Amino acid sequence: MFTEAQKTIIKEVCSIQHGTLTDLLIRQDLGTDEDGEVYEDIMTELGFGRKEFDVEMINTIHKFKEVHDDPELIYTFEELDMLVFKYILHNFSDEWKNRFPKALSNLWGKLFIWAMSNEIHNKN
């Protein structure tokens, strides 16, 4: 369903997210938000700890690895993972718009059609 250029884009987006999440996972200290509140304290207030956070991170890393290995699995992403994928695709679009302008545009179209079909399907 995807062209080779689109598969390359999907793989590169997944690699970006995989690397970012892996870097975050190995950090001892997650730091603070813009108000200076420690992220671990925020997690505690929300009722979970670093261990649960790390488990979810590992699960998400695995999802992005699976899609990297088989780009057709992109449609199995949950809503949040797809939102992150699109965010990266948008913010790093300069990486692909010169190399694969048509593939990038068509990938956006396919993602849009998929989202609309899910919306229509979920209404019924």
Which amino acid, one-letter code, is at 55? V
CA–CA distances in Å: residue 31 to residues 21, 60, 99, 105: 15, 20, 36, 37
User: Cα(2)–Cα(118) distance, rounded to whole angstroms?
Assistant: 19
pTM of the model: 0.88
The partner residues of 38 in beta bridges, in order of sequence, read 32
Q: What radius of gyration, in Å, describes the C-alpha atoms of the chain? A: 17
* 3 touches 106 (CB < 8 A): yes
pLDDT tens for the chain, 124 residues long, are: 899 999 999 999 999 999 999 999 999 888 999 999 999 999 999 999 999 999 999 999 999 999 999 999 999 999 999 999 999 999 999 999 999 999 999 999 999 999 898 778 777 5
Structural domain containing residue 107 = 4-123
Number of domains in the chain: 1
Structure tokens at 86: 């699109």
